[in-house]
């Protein structure tokens, strides 16, 4: 017995008639590039690690690099790579805002005489106990004879004025 398939009138003439009707309108997807997937993952990690100031910019930079490398000679960038660039750019902007806010907070809240004499004397004693040498002498050996840390603590400059 010869079985003939009926032509589906809803399908255009170039579509394979052997496929079931619900599969005939599915567009083939472009294969994902591993570099674009890595770019997206690193972009998400850059956003997730904003509180770790050293890791977030590294993740964001690698994400942008992988996104650009995944494009190759194609005209359009894959969606994963585009997601990686967007998330990395957001992470870099937020990281810059956080760093500027931290620096402003540091300078606005610090006072010129923030080291108390009790703190500094304890610091010198600990250094002498650890290294067996006078801390002021070690500083003068490292920075020269005109270096005076005590004057700096009192609000002066680090080097004696000539």
Give residue 115's pLDDT band: very low, low, confident or very high (50, 70, 90). low
**25-79: pLDDT as tens digits:** 556 666 678 899 999 999 999 999 998 888 999 999 999 999 999 888 778 888 8
Share of the chain above pLDDT 70, in %: 66
63: Cβ–Cβ under 8 A, 6 or more apart, which residues?
38, 39, 40, 41, 42, 43, 45, 46, 84, 85, 87, 88
User: How many of the other CB atoms lie within 10 Å of CB of 116?
Assistant: 10
Domain spans in the chain, listed from the N-terminal domain onward: 34-109, 117-153
Q: Which of 9-13, 85-89, 151-155 is modeled with the greatest confidence?
A: 85-89
Question: Is 0.85 topped by the overall pTM?
Answer: no
- pLDDT-based confidence at residue 156 (cuts at 50, 70, 90): low
More confident residue, 62 or 123: 62
**Does pLDDT of 95 surpass 90?**
yes
Q: Are 113 and 153 in contact (CB under 8 A)?
A: yes
Locate tokens 């003439």: which residue?
Answer: 13
Alpha helices, DSSP H, located in the chain = 34-48, 55-71, 79-109, 117-131, 135-143, 149-153
Which token pair is 92?
């870099």
CA pair distance 128, 138, nearest whole angstrom: 10
Contact 92, 100 (CB under 8 A): no
Helix (H, G, I), strand (E, B), or coil: what is residue 159?
A: strand
Helices 135-143, 117-131: crossing angle, 10 deg rounding: 80
């Amino acid at each position: 017995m010869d079985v003939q398939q009926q032509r589906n009138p809803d399908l255009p003439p170039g579509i394979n008639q052997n496929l079931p009707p619900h599969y005939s309108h599915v567009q083939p997807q472009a294969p994902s590039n591993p570099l674009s997937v890595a770019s997206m993952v690193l972009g998400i990690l850059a956003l997730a690690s904003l509180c770790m100031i050293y890791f977030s910019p590294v993740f964001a930079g690698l994400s942008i690099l992988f996104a650009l490398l995944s494009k190759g000679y194609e005209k359009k960038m894959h969606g994963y790579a585009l997601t990686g660039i967007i998330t990395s750019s957001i992470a870099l902007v937020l990281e810059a805002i956080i760093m500027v806010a931290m620096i402003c907070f540091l300078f606005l809240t610090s006072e010129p005489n923030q080291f108390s004499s009790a703190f500094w004397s304890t610091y010198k004693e600990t250094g002498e106990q650890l290294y067996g040498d006078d801390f002021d002498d070690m500083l003068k050996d490292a920075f020269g004879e005109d270096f005076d840390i005590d004057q700096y603590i009192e609000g002066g400059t680090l080097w004696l004025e000539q």
